[in-house]
Structure 1
Amino acid sequence: MASDPTSDRPAEPGDPAGLDPAETLRMIQRQQQAARDAVEPDGRLLFGAWGLAWLIGYLTMWFSARATGHPEGWAGWVLAGCIVGAVGFTIVHSVTRTAGLRGTSSRVGAMYGWAWFLGFTVFGVMLGAMGDAGASYEVMAIAANGFACVVVGLMYLAGGMLFEEARMYALGAWMLVTAGLAAFAGMPNVYLVMAVAGGGGFLVMAAVEQVVRGRRRSPGTARAADGGAQSA
C-alpha cells in the first residue's frame, strides 16, 4: 500500500497537527476575545468621542471666558452640542453593539445605553431647578461642570463593572477626581481643567485601548489565525 506523501511532511504554521496544547488554548482564547470585542462597546470609539467632545467644548468655553471670566452664550451652545453628540453616540453605539445578542447581554447593553440619557436628563432638570432657586452664576458653573463629571464618572464605573473592563472603570474613577479638581479651580480655569484633565484623560485612554487591541492582533497572532482558517 502506498504511503501518504503528506504523512511525513513537517508541520506548517497554522497547521492544527503542529500545534501543542498551549498554542491551541491561546488560539481559542484569541478567538473568544475577538468575538467579545465584536459585540461589546468599543472603548476606542467611546473614549475618543467623549475626549473630543470635552476638549472642544470646554476649550471653547475657556477661550471665550478669559477676558471677562464668563463664557459667551455661543460657547455654551458649542459645549451643549458636543455633550449631546457624545451622549447620543454612546447610546447608539452601546445599543447597536449588543442588538444581535439575546437574553441578559442584550438587556444589559440597552439599559446601560439608556442610563446615559436618564442621567443627563436629570442633570439638566437639576440645573434648571437651581437657576429657578436663584443660584449665582458661579454656583451654577461649578454645579454644571461637577454634575457632568459625576454622571460620566459613575457611568464609566458602572460600564467597567458590567463589561469587566478595567480601563473603563479606571477612567470613571479619574473623571470623579477631575470633578473634585475642577470644583476648586475657580472661574474660568474650571473650564481649562475640564478640557485638559477630562478630555485629555479620555483621549489618553483611547490611545491605551488602541495599543492593547494592537497587541492582541500582533503579526504572530494574525498568522496563526489565518493558518487556522486555511486549514479549516
Structure 2
Amino acid sequence: MFENPAPEGEPSADGDDLQPERLLALIDDETRGMKRALAVQVPVYYFVWGGAWLLGYLLLWSAWPGSTSPVAVPGWLAIPAFAVLMLGAAITSAAVGIRSNRGIKGVSDFVGTVYGLSWPILGGTVAAIGYALVRAGISDDAAAIYYTSAYALLVAAMYLAGTLVWHSADQLVIALVMAVAAAVTGFFGAPANMLAMALIAGPALLIGGVIALVRLRRM
C-alpha cells in the first residue's frame, strides 16, 4: 500500500535527495569545463602569431634593400612567405575560435566564434587599406612602416579584447607590448622597424603562449 522510503543516506530514484554538495560539485565541473573549452584557444593564438611574427618579419628584413642582415633573402621569396604566414595565422585563429566552441551554446559560443573570425576580418581590412595607400603612391618605406605598425596595433586590440573575455593579465601585458611596438618601431625607419618588430613582438607572443599553456594545464 505504502511505498517504502529510500534507505537513509541513499538518494531516491527521482534524484530529489541529491545533496547540495554534489550539486555544487556538478556546477563547478561544468563551469570549469566551459572555461577550459574557451581557454584552450588562447595558446594557439599566441603560438601561431608569435611564430608568424618572428619568422615573417625576419624574412622581410633580410630581403629589404639596405638591410644589414647577414643572409640576403630574395624579395620574390620573402614577400609571398610573409603573406602566407600572416594569412595562415589568421585562418588558423578563425578555425580554432569556431571549432573550440562546438558543444557550447549561448553567449560563450557567440563570443568565441566572433573573436576567432575577427582575426581574418580585421587582418584583411588592414591589408586592403595598405594596398589602397600603395596605389595612391606612398613609398615602399612608408608602406613598410604602415603594415608593420598596423598589424601590431591589430594584435594589441585583439589581445585587449581577449583580456576582457578571459580575464587574463598576461594578455593585457602582451597587448601593451604590442601597442608600444606599433608606436615606436616606425621611428626606426625601414627595414630596421621590421627587425625591431620581429625581436620585440615575436618572443613576447611566444612567451605568452607558454604562460597560457601552463595555466591551461592547471585548470
TM-score bracket, normalised by the shorter chain, equals 0.7 to 0.9
What CA distance in whole angstroms lies between the structure 2 residues aligned with 1:71 and 1:147? 24
Unaligned runs of 5+ in 2: 1-20
Q: Amino acid of the residue matched to residue 196 of structure 1?
A: L
In the alignment, which residue of structure 2 is the partner of 1:220? none
Contact 1:171 1:201 in 2 (8 A): yes
CA deviations over 1:170-190 (Å, ceiling 9, x no partner)? 212211111112111222111
Q: 1:179 aligns with which of 182, 186, 189?
A: 182
Alpha carbon RMSD of aligned pairs, Å? 2.6
- CA 1:159–1:188 in structure 2 vs 1: closer, same or farther (change >3 Å)? same
- The 1:34–1:103 alpha-carbon spacing in structure 2 relative to 1, beyond 3 Å, is closer
| Cα 1:26/1:199, change in 2 over 3 Å | farther
Counterpart position of 1:210: 213
- Aligned in 2, Cα 1:114/1:31: closer, same or farther, shift over 3 Å? closer
Match of 1:230 in 2: none
Which residue does 2:149 correspond to in 1?
A: 146
Aligned 8 A contact 2:144 2:191 in 1: no
Q: Which moves more between the two structures, 69-78 or 116-125?
A: 69-78
Distance 1:149 1:48 in 2: 15
For normalisation by structure 2, the TM-score amounts to 0.78
Q: 1:169 aligns with which of 172, 180, 186?
A: 172
Is residue 39–residue 98 contact of structure 1 (8 Å, CA) maintained in 2? yes
Q: Any conservation in 1 of the 2:126–2:150 contact (CA below 8 Å)?
A: yes
Output the CA distance in 2 between the equivalents of 1:124 and 1:92. Answer: 20
Distance of 1:203 and 1:73 partners within structure 2: 27
Instruction: Tell me the alpha carbon deviations over residues 176-222 of structure 1, each in whole angstroms, 9 at most, x when there is no partner.
Output: 111112111222111111111111110111122233345x26xxxxx
Tell me, yes or no, if structure 1 residue 130 matches structure 2 residue 133. Answer: yes
- For residues 53-91 of structure 1, give each alpha carbon's deviation from its aligned partner in whole angstroms, at most 9, with x where no partner exists: 111111111222264589723211111111101101110
Change (3 A) 1:112 1:212: closer
Asked if structure 1 preserves the Cα contact closer than 8 Å seen for 2:141 and 2:191, the reply is no
Q: CA deviation at 1:111?
A: 1.3
Contact 1:40–1:98 (Cα < 8 Å) also in 2: no
Match of 2:60 in 1: 61
Contact 1:64 1:75 in 2 (8 A): yes
Q: What is the rounded CA distance, in whole Å, between the counterparts of 1:26 and 1:202 in structure 2? A: 35
CA distance in 1, matches of 2:173, 2:164: 11
Amino acid across the alignment from 1:159: G
Distance 2:109 2:31 in 1: 18
- Amino acid corresponding to residue 148 of structure 1 in structure 2: Y
Tell whether the 8 Å contact from 1:62 to 1:71 is kept in structure 2 after alignment: no
Shift in Å at residue 151 of structure 1? 1.0
1:30 positional shift: 7.7
